[in-house]
Amino acid sequence: CLAYSFYHQITPLVDLQAYDNIAMNIVNGNGYRELVEGDILFDKAIVRVGPLYEYFLAGIYSIFGHHYEIVWIIQALLHVIGAWLIYLTCLKLFSTSENKHRIALWASAFFAFYPDLIEGVAMLQSENLYLFLVILAFYLFFKYFNNINIYSTSLLGFVFGIATLARPPVLFIIPVILFYYYKKKKIAQAILFFLMLLLVFTPWTVRNYNTYDEFIPFGTAGGFNFWIGNYHGANGEQEPPQESRDFLAEHGSIAIQGESIKQFKNFLIEHPFEFIKLSVLRVNKYFSIARPMGFWFYQTGLPQLIFILSSALASIILFVLSLGGIIKSFK
């Protein structure tokens, strides 16, 4: 990871540049915003994924200065620790298997050397912190699977809470955790877990309410995604139409959330078959056998081709093994 990071010296662009700007504004005392100038209601920081990764960067910058090299080193360490936690998790999951060490080594090595994840470490991507926290959450879940107490429940709720602040989709896992507590007949611990989860991101929700006078638990990126992926003429990617850009520029970053849901509902009513088509396209892309995710704008020629091929090969291996695992589990 470090060799890749220091060799390519990738300059942050687009969302990655936005994360960097927000982090520096936090360090400089300007608050959680992308631009210093202008009305905060029109600032796009709240539309970005966050806020944990931006504060993570801000913490690094406040200690070491505005140096990407330190970020690469810390993200590389998180990646390695993540691989180690996957190894430990597998030992617990397959504790009765005589091949548990081999399984754990293969799983952790596949994560450690996955091309797209190595590349991600070299960038200011929120996924670096998010993946580490999700891996840590699953490790803790299985570590305390048969030893539920107040301490383990509080710790699990805290880690899932900060993972949610990194990227909110982790909330989709929460019902599974709550069902686990229900099956174990640990209702008090389930309530404690949920309260700890709320406690973690409540300060951010309060901050948003005080700043925007709106109830915004995380940010407006979630609502915005409903619009930029579903409109007449879309192609299955998350590419914002010109109408959404114009609305954002005219009405600001807070109003975009309600308008996005409204536009999405109108699209469903007016173009239901096109929505089905887009959904099929998205599923096809998401579950395609070769799905390279690399950012290749910093590469050209043979290096770019080598990375694309290695990324595609890793994607194919992951798809085949995952499908095989699903089939075997059903059997």
Q: Tens digit of pLDDT for each residue in 213-224? A: 888 777 777 777
* Structure confidence at residue 79 (pLDDT): 97
* Structure confidence at residue 294 (pLDDT): 59
Question: For 108-126, what is the mean pLDDT?
Answer: 92
Rounded to an integer, what distance in angstroms lies between the CA atom of residue 295 and that of residue 167?
Answer: 20
Question: For 120-133, what is the mean pLDDT?
Answer: 92
* Structure confidence at residue 132 (pLDDT): 96
Select, from the ranges 127-131, 256-260, 268-272, 283-287, the one with the highest average predicted confidence (pLDDT). 127-131
**Average pLDDT along the chain:** 87
Three-state SS for 309-324 is HHHHHHHHHHHHHHHH
Query: What pLDDT, in 10s, does the model give residues 292-314?
Result: 565 667 778 888 888 888 888 88
* Structure confidence at residue 293 (pLDDT): 63
Does residue 299 or residue 316 have the better pLDDT? 316
Q: How confident is the model at residue 84 (pLDDT cuts 50, 70, 90)?
A: very high
Q: How confident is the model at residue 243 (pLDDT cuts 50, 70, 90)?
A: confident
Query: What pLDDT, in 10s, does the model give residues 24-42?
Result: 999 999 888 888 887 887 7
Task: Give the DSSP per-residue string, 243-258.
Answer: HHHHHHHHH-TTHHHH
Q: How confident is the model at residue 291 (pLDDT cuts 50, 70, 90)?
A: low
Asked if residues 214 and 208 have their Cβ atoms less than 8 Å apart, the reply is yes
Where do the H-state alpha helices sit in the chain?
2-8, 15-27, 52-64, 68-93, 100-112, 115-121, 126-143, 150-166, 174-183, 187-212, 221-228, 242-251, 255-270, 272-286, 301-330
Task: Give the DSSP per-residue string, 63-114.
Answer: HH-S-HHHHHHHHHHHHHHHHHHHHHHHHHHTTT-TTHHHHHHHHHHHHHT-
Q: Using the structure block, give the residue that is written with the tokens 């291996």.
A: 317
Confidence (pTM): 0.86
For the cut 80, the answer to whether the pLDDT of residue 128 exceeds it is yes
